[in-house]
Structure formats: structure tokens, C-alpha cells
Amino acid sequence: GEDLVNFSDACAAQLLAHPEVNTVEALLALPSEKSPGKTLNDDFMDMLNKIREKIVVSRIARSEGPTGGYVHHDGKTGVLFQASGNVADAELLRGVAMHIAALRPSVVNESQLDPAVIQEERDRLVAEAKATGKPDNIIEKIVDGRMKTFFVEQGVLVYQPFAVDDSKTVSQALAEKGLEAVSFTRWTIGE
């Protein structure tokens, strides 16, 4: 426990001090703050020999701007959520990260989905709506509403009802604070 936390803290400190580092190899090659003349990799190997657990440092992630982080209570899932905007509302950003851990969206917004799949669904919904004989302006509103449902079903974060307050979507909750979803990284031990 404590050894791993200390090693993780040392890695985080070095990542903050060295913004150019973006690979695990480069991270582990950085000097150890704990042991002069050694690297983080040396500290890592010492820790592994001490605790005798199989642990692999397999990836790192960076985030700029307003960011929220969350580690699930079981310690097995962690999320880093990045937004854009001028306000950093720590509680909201952490809430969105918690939402991501719990509801596991697949993408931030619809632009990350396959455009052909989106067009196919839109065409299907338009054909269904036209069969009702309603005017085109009404059909467009019906299709737009059903597309939002489709995006929720596809795991699009910004369209999902916000877990902290399901009276609004994640996008609406962020917009109220002048923020917009940019990206997220969700990692689970063993994945």
C-alpha cells in the first residue's frame, strides 16, 4: 500500500516537473528524488522486490486546462477528465470524472462516432418520421430528439444524463459553469 502510493506520488511529481515526458520509458528514466544517483525505474524495481507484487507501469496520460480526477472506492478504476473554459470548478469536474467511472461512456461527443453510422441512423429515423405524414419542420425536430437518444445509447458522454443531477445532461451541467467537455481517460486495473 504505502510503498505504491509513495512511488505513484513520485511519478506524478516528476511528470509535473517534466512536461516533455509522454512515455512510460521516459518517465522511468527520470532521476529519483528519493534516491540520488538512481532513476524512478530503480525505485520501481526496489519497490517490487520489497512488496513482491506483479505491478506494471503501462501508460501515462496528460491533461491541460480544467481537469477533474476520480479513483473509484475499490481503487481499480481511475478517470482523468479534461474540459475547456475559464473556470475550474473542482467539484463539478470531479463529478464528471465520477460519472465517467460509473457509467462508462465510450466517447466524449458525437464527432468521435463513425459518421456513416450516424447518417444511417438519421436516415432511418427520417424515413420513420416521414411515414407519419407530419410536416418536414416537425419531422426534423422529431429526428433531432431521437438522435439525442441514439447518442446516449452509443455512450456519448455529453448527451448522458449527469449522474450527480440527472435533471440535466453532462453537457448542460458543464455549460452552466462555462465549461465544455474535451477528453477523458478511464483506466481499470487489468485492462
Of 47 and 191, which is predicted with more confidence? 47
Q: How many CA atoms lie within 13 A of 26 on its CB side?
A: 11
Q: What is the pLDDT of residue 35?
A: 84
Query: What Å distances lie between residue 177 and 85, 170, 181, 183, CA to CA?
Result: 9, 11, 12, 17
Q: What is the pLDDT of residues 40-72, one digit of tens each?
A: 999 999 999 888 888 888 888 888 889 999 999
- Best mean pLDDT range from 12-16, 18-22, 61-65, 81-85: 81-85
Mean per-residue pLDDT over the chain, rounded: 91
Provide mean pLDDT across the span 21-35: 90
pLDDT at 129: 92
